Structure 1
Amino acid sequence: MQKTLLTSAALGAVMMGSAVAGDADALDASLIKTEKSFWDRFTFGTYGEIHANFWKDGGTEVDPHRIVLFADFQFTDNLKLVTETELEHSLEKRRHDASFTSTGVELKLEQAYLEYTFSDDLVAKGGLILAPVGVINEVHEPTTFYGVERPNVEVRIIPTTWTLLGLGVTQNVGTDWQLDGMFHGGNDTRGGSIRGGRSSYGIDLFTVNSDGNRFNQNNDSWAFTGRAKYTGIQDLKLSASLQYQSDMDSSASGTQDGVLGEVHGVYRKGGFQFIALGSAWEIDVESEGDSQWGYYLEPSYAWDTFIGKVGVFGRFSQYEYADLAVGSSSKKYTEYNLGGNYWINENLVVKADYLNQEIKGEVGGTEIYNLGFGWYY
């Protein structure tokens, strides 16, 4: 079933793009023409990151969080296959465990789609695609963002990394605008968290579950995501996304539709960068998780030194999140994050930061010191 859906989606992207382009002869030619030899059509790469987290009140986690291999194949000058396979949490040491274990190791297919380029301004794709929402959902390699862990607002509210089975089109309008549209399946929160409702295509290699099956696709739901990007102001990039889902919980009777809105801006001049992002859900459920939201502000500065590039950052975040799947009620979090990145070169980065997290209505807070190492080739 999944294979059939994937194949149909991929072929559909090409067909949809063909209709937009309206030039069948050019399409036929592009599907057979290439100037590259067979072996030159392959592109391989990898990225990954290893984290160590130290709680001030005790406990340590060490986690090879992800090791990723991506492989592309250029069928023709216009048509290519893009894949990304991910191994997560291999030999993880959890906070209160005495030793490393292999429980929970996951092998996941994060991306797998066909992409057809009609022109410099029009691209269509179909298959397993990343949702066009947020700052780091589509570009999330560890060398591209500050902090050992990804921002919790993007992790829990958006939720990064978010792969969907669908069809998408990107259209550039002039030099300042980019428009994205994507039809896809929806989340399946099953009475749980937004993050837990992400589609997941993979298996647990070592698992305590009965079958280890991680396939999670809400076949009862359809959804659409639209995004507009604007780059007409010097040094500033602005983006807004809006998503509608027809049913976010297959375990409940009736339909529970949901709407996600997200806006962000990235200002970059010289070594200075400032990110501001806000995102919110409105979900048709009769529970305290019907409205979940978050925002963060992140200034940073980086400069070149004789030993490599060094950068420092601060991040202030607030968000309201409910993980109903584990019995956690809706809570409001406030976080302060400070740290730095050291890029040995453009492909290798070492990170360190401090996180202070407070929960409204609860006494005390959580303090965590994080170290990490990442690569992207």
Structure 2
Amino acid sequence: MKAITSLVFLFFSTISFAQTVQDSIPTNSEQKENASQRILSGNSGGAVTIGGYGEMVYNQPEGDNGTLDVHRLVLLLGYKFDEKTQFITEIEVEHVKEIYVEQAFVNYAISNNVNLRGGLMLVPMGIINEFHEPTTFNGTSRPAVDHDIVPTTWRELGVGVTGRIPEYSLGYQAYIFNGFKSTAFDSDGGVKGFLKGKDGLRGGRQKGIKSTVDSPTLSAKVDYYGIPGLRFGLAGYFGKTQADDKVEDLDGANIGISMVGFDVRYAFRKFTARGEFVYASLSDTDKYNALTGKDLGSALMGYYVEGAYNLLPMTAKQKLYAFARYEHYDTHASTEGTLVRNDAYNRQDITAGLSYHIANGVVVKGDYQIKDNAVDGVDVKNQLNFGIGVWF
């Protein structure tokens, strides 16, 4: 606990020395841009832009065999029709055999600071869901908060508006999406539930695959960038889940979702830090669990704090970050009805390791994770991880 307190103190103490400047997103693409922003900014200068990112990982839980995996390889494609209209897409291959379309949207620039978008897009919640390229985060794997609380990579079909208000150093996004899928009839005529206690909403992502929609959901985020090297984000997601026809008329087929998230990123010379807090309140989960036999909690909560320091001179082209991250996440932060909270879902991870950027766009990573949960007398296996990531 003393180490965690010291990390939080260092994080906020460093932030206090910052001063106001313009948005730094375009000046450091590795840390401040994601793949779609890079393509939209027109780095290639041509009509067609091609890029990609990928990561290969090795995971070694204590006492078990290790696993090697080409976790993902992603092809990035962009086309510029004219000065106002662009198309962006990501085609992803996971674990060598699973193919997904991660993004596919049209961006129309009404003005320099206002854009309309439509298609398959990332939901703006937290940091990693939008900035998940492997060279942009520390650790071989993404934070667990951005897996079980924010179900990264979370993308859905919709329309929206994005832009900036420069005089107030604000960026904004607002979308109408289809929502999570909660229930459907199975082959035996019973009701199948897609949401559950261990990883919350993750199983309900529709990913643009013949998505069913009954009631649209609202997603919005505001970012403040008026302090050099510092960025604050405040996001919200509100609506109801979606159910197949006929199932939606059953009591408990849908639940309500209200999710809010706060995130912060900071960089000063050789020091970087980031943090995130996300809370989701789910309504009617007692009826949903009764209908489906699942154990979905009525509240999900997670947060993490991370600090990193570059061990190499600032003049060096390469960077070697030593980092540590503490995260706590609970998918049974609250339960409804007769469902008893499962302490195994109240978890914490401490991750520490190195990220060696051997070139701009190539990183070699290694870390060790100490895992725990709130169940008395139960040992959760710690894990050693190594990985290679690229982004171009």
TM-score by length of 1: 0.77
Which residue of 1 is the match for residue 190 of structure 2? none
Which residue of 1 is the match for residue 234 of structure 2? 240
Q: What's the CA shift for 1:302? A: 1.7
Rounded to whole Å, the distance in 2 between the matches of 1:264 and 1:302 is 22
Q: Secondary structure at the match of 2:117?
A: strand
Asked if 1 retains the 8 angstrom alpha-carbon contact of 2:195 and 2:201, the reply is no
Rounded to whole Å, the distance in 1 between the matches of 2:70 and 2:365 is 14
Alignment of 1:17-28 (within 5 A): none
Asked if 1 retains the 8 angstrom alpha-carbon contact of 2:217 and 2:240, the reply is yes
Alignment of 1:1-377 (within 5 A): 40-90=46-96, 105-175=97-167, 176-189=169-182, 190-192=194-196, 193-201=200-208, 215=209, 217-247=211-241, 253-254=250-251, 255-284=254-283, 285-286=285-286, 288-305=296-313, 308-321=318-331, 329=342, 331-362=345-376, 363-377=378-392
Identity rate of aligned residues, in percent? Answer: 28
Rounded to whole Å, the distance in 1 between the matches of 2:380 and 2:141 is 18
Q: What's the CA shift for 1:373? A: 0.1
Rounded to whole Å, the distance in 1 between the matches of 2:383 and 2:327 is 15
Rounded to whole Å, the distance in 2 between the matches of 1:343 and 1:46 is 17
Q: Secondary structure at the match of 1:186?
A: coil
Q: Secondary structure at the match of 2:127?
A: coil
**1:322-356 per-position Cα deviation (integer Å, ceiling 9, x unaligned):** 6xxxxx95610011100110011111100000011
Query: Over aligned residues, Cα RMSD in angstroms?
Result: 2.2
Which residue of 2 is the match for residue 205 of structure 1? none
Q: What's the CA shift for 1:307? A: 7.3
Matched residues, number = 309
**1:76-102 per-position Cα deviation (integer Å, ceiling 9, x unaligned):** 111011111000002xxxxxxxxxxxx
- Specify the code of the residue in structure 2 equivalent to 1:140: H
**1:28-74 per-position Cα deviation (integer Å, ceiling 9, x unaligned):** xxxxxxxx9xx931110111000100011222111100000011111
Rounded to whole Å, the distance in 2 between the matches of 1:200 and 1:173 is 31
**Alignment gaps of 5+ in structure 2:** 1-41, 183-193, 287-294, 333-340
Asked if 2 retains the 8 angstrom alpha-carbon contact of 1:187 and 1:217, the reply is no
Moved over 3 A (4+): 248-252, 303-307
Task: Evaluate the alpha carbon distance shift between residue 66 and residue 269 of structure 1 in structure 2; reply closer, same or farther with a 3 A threshold.
Answer: same
Asked if 1 retains the 8 angstrom alpha-carbon contact of 2:170 and 2:225, the reply is yes
Task: Evaluate the alpha carbon distance shift between residue 337 and residue 248 of structure 1 in structure 2; reply closer, same or farther with a 3 A threshold.
Answer: farther
Q: Secondary structure at the match of 1:281?
A: strand
**Alignment gaps of 5+ in structure 1:** 1-35, 91-104, 202-214, 323-327
Q: What's the CA shift for 1:288? A: 5.0
Q: What's the CA shift for 1:154? A: 1.1
**1:252-287 per-position Cα deviation (integer Å, ceiling 9, x unaligned):** 624311111100111221111121110011111115
Rounded to whole Å, the distance in 2 between the matches of 1:304 and 1:336 is 24
Rounded to whole Å, the distance in 2 between the matches of 1:249 and 1:61 is 36
Q: What's the CA shift for 1:249? A: 5.4
Q: What's the CA shift for 1:129? A: 0.4
Rounded to whole Å, the distance in 2 between the matches of 1:72 and 1:307 is 29
